[in-house]
Amino acid sequence: MTSIPEMPDDAADDGRIEQDRLWRDNGWTARVIKNEDDDGWAVAMIKDGEAEPALVGPWTMGRDKKNPKPLDTAAFNTLVKTANEVLRRHEQQRHALLNKSVSVETDDGRIDVALEIIPDEFDPYARLTATDAYGEQLAEVRVAANFKLTASSAADWIASGYARPR
């Protein structure tokens, strides 16, 4: 397990830091840390305001093969780009887990049915909505968070006149 050291006391919350093992700029902090599991080094990328790193990865050894290579502008910028990409992919994955949609062809035309899961800590639920081909909302009901949206369940809901599914 790799531990992440605290910020130095002399670092201003909004200040830029450019040290060999600590670099802060543009809302990100990079910390080069000792990998406690082996003899290597790791770098942790922490977005300002977050408690946990967005990215932790191996870091290159310096020429002496004992100490880490110092951070520099190019390395920091690459780490920021990579950490932002990790966060973006995580958000896309979360969105995909919480939002589903299907289209159903009816006698009145195509109806799009969407399920949005609301992950409330105490009372999770989902919202089922139907819209026509012009984007006009036809119905919306609250359903259980574990409701399974399929083409068949959507067609059943439409056929029921948008009665709340059980």
- Going 6 to 51 to 73 to 83, the CA torsion angle's sign is positive
Report pLDDT digits (tens) over 112-125.
999 999 988 899 99
User: Which residue, 76, 126, 80, 138, is CA-closest to 100?
Assistant: 126
Whole-number Å distance between alpha carbons of 68 and 99: 43
Q: Is the pLDDT of residue 2 over 80?
A: no
What pLDDT, on the 0 to 100 scale, is given for residue 98? Answer: 92
Q: Is the pLDDT of residue 90 over 50?
A: yes
Give me 35's structure tokens. 């990998």
Q: At CA 23, angle to CA 88 and CA 20, rounded to 5?
A: 135
Contact 129, 147 (CB under 8 A): no
Whole-number Å distance between alpha carbons of 110 and 104: 6
What pLDDT, on the 0 to 100 scale, is given for residue 38? Answer: 75
Mean pLDDT of the chain: 90
| Beta-strand relationship, 28-34 and 41-47 | antiparallel
Q: Is the pLDDT of residue 70 over 60?
A: yes
Say how many C-beta atoms besides its own lie within 10 A of residue 49's C-beta.
6
